[in-house]
């Protein structure tokens, strides 16, 4: 049985530990976590997983499985998709374990320590917009988790590579400064390539930010930009809807969602052009500053 050592990844709000004997997986990790230095084990990891290769002789192609705590929570992936499996799987595990926080399903970027939260359902272009804003000079906090400390209302960064899918890969890849990991064609979610947040965002991964603005983004091909203010009560409910654990947190989740809606203005933004959206968000953010 293999016992390759754990590799630790400090992504800000969480510590991940992963072990695998698959060399290509480590090469991929190096590409999408380029700023991480090898840390010594012995640290408390929020998620500790092992990626084990399946049989070499499987007729329909070799696979890789993710094992956590002696269990295999997901179906195996094709062997060369260990990185997407690790990213997706560890995020799933985190989403179930971080109930000390209100966990929004949201992209988060910041100017200094003032945060813009982009809560959205899958498929609304949240990851793409988050990456584009980051390339336009915003600090990257997360493309997936809005981690809210319910005591202070502050946001904790979770600086991980952002999985761009299908057309977004070119849309973001062609922007100046964009750094993307390897392309994984035809995964279960289509083509996937991971966007790598910059070094400054990585270094600031323990610096919390204060919510300053909430924008519910929705990309619609060919649509003219349309921005509508969202009333506080509406915003609170929509924040709850776009959360992993709002329901499970009961009254605490409700209070945290209401507190967030009270302290920040909220808008809905439908857009067909990424640059228009960025320009408009800059204006909105300027207004609340």
Partner 1 sequence: MSSNGQSDIALLMRGLREPLSIDEARWERLLRIARASGLHARLAAANLDKATTTDVVRRHLLSSARIAAYRAQMVRAELFHLTPLVTDDFPVIVLKGGAYILQGRALAEGRFVSDVDLLVPNAHLRAMESRLRAAGWQPEKLDPYDERYYRDWSHETPPMRFPGHSLEVDLHHAITPVTGSLAFDPASLFARSEPIPGTPFRALCAEDQVLHACLHCFHDGELDLRVREVVDIDGLLRTFAARGGFWDRLLARAAELGLQRPLWYGLHFARNWLDCPVPSAVPDALPAPHTLSRAAMDALVPLAMLPPDPDFPPSLHVRVARTLMRTRYHLLRMPLQLLVPHLARKTLRRLKARLDRRAEAPTEDGAP
Which residues of this chain interact with partner 1, rule CB under 8 A? 1, 3, 19, 42-46, 48, 50, 52, 60, 67-72, 75, 91-92, 95-100, 105, 122-123, 144, 188-189, 244, 247-250, 252
CB of 213 to partner 1, least distance (A): 23
Q: Please say which residue, 50 or 280, places its beta carbon nearer to partner 1.
A: 50
CB of 264 to partner 1, least distance (A): 23
Q: Please say which residue, 57 or 176, places its beta carbon nearer to partner 1.
A: 57
DSSP string for 77-123: EEGGGHHHHHHHHHHHHHHHH-TTSEEEEEEEEEETTEEEEEE--TT
CA-closest candidate to residue 257, choices 242, 267, 278, 276: 242
Are the beta carbons of 51 and 64 closer than 8 angstroms?
Answer: yes
Cα within 13 Å of Cα(272), Cβ side? 6
CB of 280 to partner 1, least distance (A): 27
CB of 276 to partner 1, least distance (A): 27
Q: What single DSSP character describes residue 223?
A: P
H/E stretch holding 164: strand 162-165
Q: Please say which residue, 70 or 176, places its beta carbon nearer to partner 1.
A: 70
Q: Please say which residue, 187 or 227, places its beta carbon nearer to partner 1.
A: 187
CA distance 76 to 196: 25
CB of 176 to partner 1, least distance (A): 30
Q: Please say which residue, 188 or 263, places its beta carbon nearer to partner 1.
A: 188
């Amino acid at each position: 049985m293999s016992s390759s050592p754990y590799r630790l990844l400090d992504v800000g709000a969480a510590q991940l530990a992963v072990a695998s004997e698959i060399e290509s997986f480590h090469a991929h990790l190096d590409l999408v976590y380029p700023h991480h230095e090898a840390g010594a084990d012995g640290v408390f990891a929020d998620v500790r997983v092992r990626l084990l290769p399946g049989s070499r002789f499987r007729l329909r192609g070799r696979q890789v499985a993710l094992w956590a705590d002696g269990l295999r929570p997901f179906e195996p992936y094709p062997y060369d998709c260990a990185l997407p499996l690790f990213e997706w799987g560890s995020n799933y595990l985190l989403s179930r374990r971080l109930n000390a926080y209100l966990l929004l399903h949201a992209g988060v970027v910041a100017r200094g320590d003032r945060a813009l939260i982009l809560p959205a359902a899958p498929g609304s272009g949240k990851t793409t917009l988050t990456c584009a804003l980051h390339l336009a000079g915003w600090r990257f906090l997360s493309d997936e988790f809005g981690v809210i400390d319910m005591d202070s209302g502050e946001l904790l960064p979770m600086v991980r590579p952002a999985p761009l899918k299908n057309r977004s890969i070119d849309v973001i890849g062609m922007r100046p400064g964009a750094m993307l990991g390897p392309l994984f064609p035809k995964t279960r979610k289509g083509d996937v390539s991971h966007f790598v947040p910059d070094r400054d965002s990585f270094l600031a991964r323990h610096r919390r930010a204060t919510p300053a603005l909430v924008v519910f983004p929705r990309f619609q091909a060919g649509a003219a930009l349309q921005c509508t203010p969202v009333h506080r009560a509406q915003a609170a409910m929509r924040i709850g809807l776009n959360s992993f654990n709002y329901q499970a947190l009961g009254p605490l989740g409700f209070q945290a969602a209401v507190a967030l809606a009270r302290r920040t203005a909220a808008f809905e933004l439908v857009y067909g052009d990424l640059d228009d959206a960025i320009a408009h968000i800059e204006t909105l953010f300027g207004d609340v500053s």
